Structure 1
Amino acid sequence: MESKQASDAQGEPTLMKEEIEQSSNSLDRDTESGQMDDRELQRRLRRIYWKVDLRLIPILGALYAVSGIDRINLSSARVAGMHEDLHFYIGNRYSVVLLVFFITYFMFEIPSNIILRKVGAAIWLSFIAMSWGIVIMCAGFVKTWGPLIAIRLLLGLFEAGFFPGCMYLISCWYRRYQIQQRIAWFYSINVIANGFGSLLAYGIIQMEGLGGLRGWRWIFVIEGLLTCVLAMMGYYLIIDFPDKLLKKKSFLTAEEVELIKAELDKDRGDAVHDPITPMKVLKTLSRWQLWIYSLLFMCVAIGIYGYAFFGVVILQGMGYSPGRVFLLSAPPAIASVPFSLVISYLADRTKLRAPYVAFMAITCTIGYLLVAYPKQNGVRYFGVFLGLAGANGALPAVLAWQANNIRGQSTRATASGLQVAFGAVGGIYASVTFLEREAPTYFSGLWAGIAAQLFMLAACIGMSIYHYIQNRKAARGEMVIEGLEGFRYTY
């Protein structure tokens, strides 16, 4: 990775300042003279954003997908024999192993985003992905559950920066009402991969005994190796922030970058990066609204992690064989993808967030109830479908809601780190409320998840009322929202 920095500094062709100014002046002349009418401008922007979509979303989505697989492959390994080999049946060892990951994951979200901006997206994101891939491979060689604690702590440390970094980067490229669909596509890659991840794990388990290793150990080795390969690809494919692309040769021309920056300024006036300082971080953290968005994301994470960590175990408790459990775990995740994409499309078109978040919370709650109480396996399995649809559909909406209502790149760096950090709190919550002694029903965990969804409903109502009142004040000229005339909150 140092060679890439060196080539940027010494040998890689860069855009000179005169070229950038010339391109910007040309863009200004086109706009002023009317040569670029609105229809032509929109056509060009669609083409430019299509190029950005292809470079940004697939590779980030693929890397986040393997991070998700690496994070939850414990559930597959547990069913495949890890439970007995590492004596997880003693006390709540399995829950403890799940929980410790989130300690370091929570602590390093915001610091990682600060490093990301300084070092560059491609270098930092690929570095941390390579690091967690190596850590995952090490998990395949532990002999007792103790070293697995250290591995999970390191995994949390390295994975901490990836998701908030992706949200920070994506939010700096797109207009406010483009973003939920992009987050949905990014996250859907992860959902699909995790759905098939159980099938992949089942295939890897068939390597039982190869090289003297048990099948569950091969899960960690193979999936860690896959992560390292994708990390190397990410180093060359991940693009940087729009303003940084002007300083080096890229897949966009200087004029195309200027067009995107002009769109961002027209949308929210923060295309130019403002340096991150300790005072700005503290000021951002003092905004109570961001803590509500973070709590909303925590509630979403509770649903996602609950099904991710214990869904396989719940299915196993219905009496299915391990092979059939792996097969049955994929369809609910895959089915949630079109649901999430349709909801995100409608949310961007209607420029609303809260009604869709509330709808997802209700859907997830119904899913929990169907898993908890009916006796028929078919009904309980349908509950898993609804629960995952609600949880996975809410994630893009909650992330987009916060992104829509803040301005300034330094604010985005801190806010996205804080919000995603609370996802770690949701993971801890799910880990400790699904009690081992209640297997395979996990009533406490399911009701804890329902409580989180009810909080989401209350928060949606409260935040919508607050945003409506603030927008009314701004319309009457009594205040300026986010320091920008004409800016309005999304609710």
Structure 2
Amino acid sequence: MADLNQELRKADSSSDFEKIGIHDEYVTKNTADTESTDPRITQFTHAEQRKIIHRIDRRLVVTLGIMYSISLMDRANVSKANIAGMSRDLKFSTPGVDRYSVIVLIFFIPYVLFQPPATVIMRKLGPRRFLPTICFLWGGVMIAFGFVNNWTEMVGLRVILGVLEAGFFPGCAYLMSTWFTRFELHKRYSIFYLIGSGASAFAGILAYGLIQMDGIANIQGWRWIFIIEGIVTCAVGLASYFILVDFPDQAKGTWKFLSDAEVDLVIARLEYDRADSTAPAFHLGSYLRHAADLKIWGFASLFGLCTVTSYAISYFLPVILMQGMGFNLAQAQCLVAPPYACAGIYMYTQAIFADKFRNRAVPIMINSTLCLIGLPILGFSTNNGARYFGVFLATIGANSNIPAVMTYQANNIRGQWKRALCSATLVGFGGIGGIIGSTVFRRVDSPNYYPGMMTCMIANAMMILITLALSFKFWRANKRVDAGGKIIEGQVGFKYTL
């Protein structure tokens, strides 16, 4: 099996083989029968295997989820500080450039540009070194936010923050996809994102509490948001260095984690799921050649369109609640929480059924439809109760589509370096969506923000169309395999997940 896998990697197994074809001798031929007789697997009972997977959940998914919650909190706390006095103190309302939009927007430029090299660096250094280090460093940047004197200093720090956070989300998506089989992923991505969105649910309440520190040490309340949350980020970065784990092929000997036999079990499960548990030597040409596979850009487009709405809600919901719906500061900060809490419950429930029935496209289209219902209610209704109900639908749909799209992509590709590139392009396009989402809700469009609402609605309609197109492509490829035609992604028996 080892020799066969080596030959497979030499043949650049992660290319789009349904298009180019491949000789059978370079194809992985894993079957359920060989899996059932592999001693690396059969030495553990089904119950023991489940306990091992749950241990990975607790050590990997929960740790990454906590780190992601810190990332989301740090990325979006500018919106909380904005309505808590930062806009006034840094003179954002000066005629001319919309300074707040520039501060929000500038983060995404380095965030997009630095993602492809960041995933390669993480594969080389290992996630246990890479992810905690960048987390600790951006925590230091957060603390510095609390001491800026003008808006241009804020812009510079947001650029640095974008560089440091560029490798985090794609790194997390890539790392989790290397530990779990294809039909275990949606639930894990949802737990990961659920922890993050849970932090988003209560970040407004936390921010309101920190604002009450106004005047302590002669520091304004909005500055304390950055300082305290930056300190928390540094602490999480330090702790995660001792808790986080590396890739499965590097995990033996990890402190208080899995035994060598248990790591071998994980690797065997991955080999029989998709035969890409280890990474071949890195070659830039081979790495970039994967970009010729059009479905990579289909997945990336889906994620970018999804984040148009999710980022818009994250950055502008407090503003909409105050300036568009007339709530005061305390009410606006606290009313952010319930929609995110409901989104987390819905997201996880959907993931359970999606993994059980092995369906990826339908959840994406359902979630986009929720946004297409909620956004018009939010944008065009004149009743605040109805508009707030629209917030629930849009928040649930947009946030639930994040893990849904991530899983749709992860289920339909093979190869470690292709997975690394896909994670970077996926989240890179997510950053482009963030650029759009951070600029379409303008102060001059208050209180209904019609251009922003229409942009988000168009994005969700396009998601449905792209998902239908990809599903049709995958259905045709699967039918070709069933008829004895060209195989998919270099593995006999591999089929796309629709």
Fold conserved between structures, TM > 0.5: yes
| Alignment-derived partner of residue 169 in structure 1 | 175
| Alignment-derived partner of residue 128 in structure 2 | 122
| Cα pair distance change 1:467/1:449, threshold 3 Å | same
Structure 2: tracts of 5 or more residues without a match: 1-33
Q: Which of 225, 233, 249 is equivalent to 1:219? A: 225
| Alignment-derived partner of residue 80 in structure 1 | 84
Q: Is the 8 A contact 2:41 2:265 kept in 1?
A: no
Output the CA distance in 1 between the equivalents of 2:330 and 2:39: 67
The answer to whether 1:381 aligns with 2:388 is: yes
Q: Is the 8 A contact 1:275 1:410 kept in 2?
A: no
Q: Which of 464, 468, 485 is equivalent to 2:471? A: 464
Output the CA distance in 2 between the equivalents of 1:35 and 1:163: 31
| Alignment-derived partner of residue 293 in structure 1 | 299
Q: Which amino acid aligns with 1:308?
A: S
Deviation at 1:376, TM superposition (A): 0.6
Q: Which of 172, 183, 186 is equivalent to 2:192? A: 186
CA deviations over 1:45-100 (Å, ceiling 9, x no partner): 10110111110011111111011011111111011011111111133111111000
SS of residue in 1 equivalent to 2:327: coil
Q: Is the 8 A contact 2:40 2:264 kept in 1?
A: no
Q: Which of 261, 275, 281 is equivalent to 2:267? A: 261
Output the CA distance in 2 between the equivalents of 1:321 and 1:266: 56
Q: Which amino acid aligns with 2:77?
A: N
Q: Which of 276, 281, 286 is equivalent to 1:275? A: 281
| Alignment-derived partner of residue 18 in structure 2 | none
| Alignment-derived partner of residue 447 in structure 2 | 440
| Alignment-derived partner of residue 12 in structure 1 | none
**1:237-386 mapped onto 2 (5 Å cutoff):** 237-246=243-252, 251-316=257-322, 317-386=324-393
SS of residue in 2 equivalent to 1:419: helix
| Alignment-derived partner of residue 412 in structure 2 | 405
| Alignment-derived partner of residue 235 in structure 1 | 241
SS of residue in 2 equivalent to 1:433: coil
| Cα pair distance change 1:320/1:131, threshold 3 Å | same
Output the CA distance in 2 between the equivalents of 1:32 and 1:211: 64
Q: Which amino acid aligns with 1:483?
A: G
Output the CA distance in 2 between the equivalents of 1:411 and 1:395: 20
CA deviations over 1:8-47 (Å, ceiling 9, x no partner): xxxxxxxxxxxxxxxxxxxx9994689948xx63222101
| Cα pair distance change 1:79/1:158, threshold 3 Å | same
Output the CA distance in 2 between the equivalents of 1:482 and 1:46: 28
| Alignment-derived partner of residue 497 in structure 2 | 490
| Alignment-derived partner of residue 16 in structure 1 | none
| Alignment-derived partner of residue 119 in structure 2 | 113
Deviation at 1:149, TM superposition (A): 0.6
Output the CA distance in 1 between the equivalents of 2:263 and 2:318: 46
Q: Which amino acid aligns with 1:127?
A: T
Output the CA distance in 2 between the equivalents of 1:88 and 1:284: 44
Q: Which amino acid aligns with 1:367?
A: G
Q: Is the 8 A contact 1:180 1:348 kept in 2?
A: yes
What value does the CA root-mean-square deviation take over the aligned residues?
A: 1.7
The answer to whether 1:160 aligns with 2:159 is: no
| Cα pair distance change 1:259/1:147, threshold 3 Å | same
Deviation at 1:247, TM superposition (A): 6.0
Q: Which of 69, 73, 81 is equivalent to 2:73? A: 69
SS of residue in 1 equivalent to 2:478: helix
SS of residue in 2 equivalent to 1:482: coil
Output the CA distance in 2 between the equivalents of 1:63 and 1:434: 28
Q: Which amino acid aligns with 1:318?
A: M
Q: Which amino acid aligns with 2:271?
A: D
Deviation at 1:364, TM superposition (A): 1.1
CA deviations over 1:380-418 (Å, ceiling 9, x no partner): 000000000001111111000100011011111111011
| Alignment-derived partner of residue 456 in structure 2 | 449
Deviation at 1:273, TM superposition (A): 1.9
Output the CA distance in 2 between the equivalents of 1:73 and 1:320: 19
Output the CA distance in 1 between the equivalents of 2:390 and 2:268: 46
| Alignment-derived partner of residue 5 in structure 1 | none
- Segment drifting more, 98-107 vs 40-49: 40-49
Q: Calculate percent identity across the aligned residue pairs.
A: 37
SS of residue in 2 equivalent to 1:432: coil
Structure 1: tracts of 5 or more residues without a match: 1-27
| Alignment-derived partner of residue 59 in structure 1 | 63
Q: Is the 8 A contact 1:274 1:408 kept in 2?
A: no
Q: Which amino acid aligns with 2:490?
A: G
Deviation at 1:248, TM superposition (A): 5.5
Q: Is the 8 A contact 1:98 1:431 kept in 2?
A: yes
- Segment drifting more, 433-442 vs 53-62: 433-442
| Alignment-derived partner of residue 211 in structure 2 | 205
SS of residue in 1 equivalent to 2:183: coil
Q: Which amino acid aligns with 2:427?
A: V
- Segment drifting more, 272-281 vs 98-107: 272-281
- Between the two proteins, the alignment pairs up a number of residues equal to 462
| Cα pair distance change 1:30/1:314, threshold 3 Å | closer
Q: Which amino acid aligns with 1:300?
A: C
CA deviations over 1:174-233 (Å, ceiling 9, x no partner): 000000100000000010111100000000000011111100000000001100000000
Q: Is the 8 A contact 1:202 1:326 kept in 2?
A: yes
If asked which structure has higher relative contact order (CA below 8 Å, sep 6+), I would say 2
Output the CA distance in 2 between the equivalents of 1:301 and 1:287: 22
Q: Is the 8 A contact 1:280 1:411 kept in 2?
A: no
Output the CA distance in 1 between the equivalents of 2:91 and 2:220: 15
Q: Is the 8 A contact 1:313 1:440 kept in 2?
A: no
Q: Which amino acid aligns with 1:407?
A: R
CA deviations over 1:334-367 (Å, ceiling 9, x no partner): 1111100011111111111111100000001111
| Cα pair distance change 1:131/1:376, threshold 3 Å | same
SS of residue in 1 equivalent to 2:107: helix
| Alignment-derived partner of residue 96 in structure 1 | 102
| Cα pair distance change 1:144/1:33, threshold 3 Å | closer
| Cα pair distance change 1:322/1:456, threshold 3 Å | same
Output the CA distance in 2 between the equivalents of 1:245 and 1:407: 21
Output the CA distance in 2 between the equivalents of 1:134 and 1:334: 29
Output the CA distance in 1 between the equivalents of 2:462 and 2:59: 37
TM-score by length of 1: 0.92
Output the CA distance in 1 between the equivalents of 2:275 and 2:106: 40
Q: Is the 8 A contact 1:357 1:460 kept in 2?
A: yes
Q: Is the 8 A contact 1:65 1:194 kept in 2?
A: yes
